Amino acid sequence: MFYVYVIYSEKAGRKYTGYTTDIDKRLEEHNHDLLSKYTKKKGPWVLIYKEELETIGEALAREKILKSGVGRDFLKKITGK
């Protein structure tokens, strides 16, 4: 299984969208400034949205949608952020 996720940092007032096979491990990596230059030193990050998908292709396509204007509107509507 693959997960598309959105995390949010109150400190930075920013969201980050990504995909992974292990959501708990990936969130820990974001919060400990590992692997992502974008999220480094902007935490703490909290998970505000996730979707489970069967293939990496589906995850990549969904990530792309969530990063688009339509996806950002969808996330704002359901998360308020």
- C-beta of residue 26 within 8 angstroms of C-beta of residue 5: yes
Tens digits of residue pLDDT in 11-20:
999 999 999 9
Segments forming the whole domain that contains residue 68? 2-76
CA distance 77 to 8: 15
Which regions of the chain are under pLDDT 70? none
pLDDT at 68: 97
- Residue 20's domain is classified under what CATH number? 3.40.1440.10
- C-beta of residue 3 within 8 angstroms of C-beta of residue 23: yes
CB neighbours of 46 closer than 8 A, spacing ≥ 6?
Answer: 7, 8, 9, 10
Total of domains in the chain: 1
pLDDT at 72: 95
**Exposure on the CB side of residue 70, measured as CA atoms within 13 A:** 4
